[in-house]
Amino acid sequence: MTHRSHGCHAKDGPAHQERQVVEIVCGFLQEEPLGHLVVAVPVLCMYLCYGLVLIAYSFADDPSYAVGFRQLSIPLSAVGGVFLLGEQGSVPKLFGVILIFCGALLVAVG
């Protein structure tokens, strides 16, 4: 007799989902001629961007200013997504953008 906790099958677990993701990525890399670049370039940019953030923290007299400035990228990205990319705006998104902007403003002021 097999014990199934909460009615979940073994194929529904995290290991199965991880295998599915690996299969999708490997299939993409094999089918796309530039698949490796499509995956590698954003990963490289992510590490470079984080390196720049760490450099900014080391140069700042008060790192809270660098943190506040970094947080401004979130509302700017949300506004750019709505106006430049045509994403759908919503009340929760607007509320979140306003809260983040006010928090960054409070850090900058003092």
Assign 47 to helix, strand or coil: helix
Number of other CB atoms surrounding residue 73 within 10 Å: 13
Compute the half-sphere exposure of residue 44: CA atoms within 13 Å on the CB side of its CA: 6
pLDDT for the residue 101: 84
- Residue-wise pLDDT for 23-63, tens only, equals 777 776 677 677 677 778 888 888 998 898 888 888 888 78
Output the six-digit token pair for 69.
Answer: 């400035």
**Could you tell me the residue ranges of all domains in the chain?**
13-59, 61-110
Does residue 77 contact residue 41 with C-beta atoms inside 8 Å? no
Of 42, 43, 41, 65, nearest in space to 53 by CA = 65
pLDDT for the residue 28: 67
Does residue 48 contact residue 38 with C-beta atoms inside 8 Å? no
Confidence check: pLDDT of 4 > 50: no
pLDDT for the residue 7: 45
